[in-house]
Amino acid sequence: MSRGYIIPIGGAIDKVQDPAILKRFVKLCGGKNARIAVIPTASSERSTGQTYEEIFLEFGVLRSVVLPFESRADCAREDWLAILEESDGVFLTGGNQLRLSTTLGGTPAAKLLRIKNQNGLHVAGSSAGAAFLSEHMIAFGDEGSTPRHGMVALAPGLGLTNRIIVDQHFRQRDRLGRLLTALAYNPFAIGVGLDENTAAFIDGDENVEVVGTGGLTIVDPSNIEYTSADLAFSAQKGEPVSLLGVRLHILVRGDRYNLHTRVAEPALKHSEQR
């Protein structure tokens, strides 16, 4: 089977007026036959999981269940792992991504999510959940458009893909600088900056399609000619980082990007092909 979709979402999802992102997720998971597990571990609000559980049930899915992993011991519970095993989709809510990495990291639940995603399970994450999906996760950082030494802290994420580093609430919280700083440390990955109510639907062939009302910023560092990030040990915290040769795209609803070929295409091109 091909890998399931990986779906980072920029946060602040429209759940009522235009829930296009959640409806697209449900459709991918099987519509009325979908079995969805909600993981609210990142959130400090106990109602978060129940809110999404009820939304998915209102969309008519077959099953929507909250798995409130609160401790590492919870992540080894056989009854909850069985629910993950039978699910068509998993949704990780927003909150604090370090709660996700410290609670799920290295547990049977995290291992099962990686295995199942490789075999067709669709995994979506909003805000903190989005940051956690990839191998390299932005744990926290400062706002601002200019990359600066010490601006961002990275931590291991869930590891569904190593091709991207995700940042969320991107335009709303002015996070270009910290994403650029993260990429200066690791120019292999592609930066994905997601505005609120905006999602990147990434299929098993590494095709990205934008769904939602905001923009998706792609930062491609593959042709970087020079960066001063290696001077971090001698530089003062807050000093600007030089990055030469970075390529940037802004994608909106329907636009596409391939993480393998690193080619962007407008939505208009796809409509003409149809």
Catalytic residues: 127, 169, 196
Orientation angle between helical segments 108-118 and 78-86, nearest 10 degrees: 10
Q: Are strands 190-194 and 164-167 parallel, antiparallel or unpaired?
A: parallel
The full length of the chain comes to: 274
Is-contact 170 195, C-beta < 8 A? yes
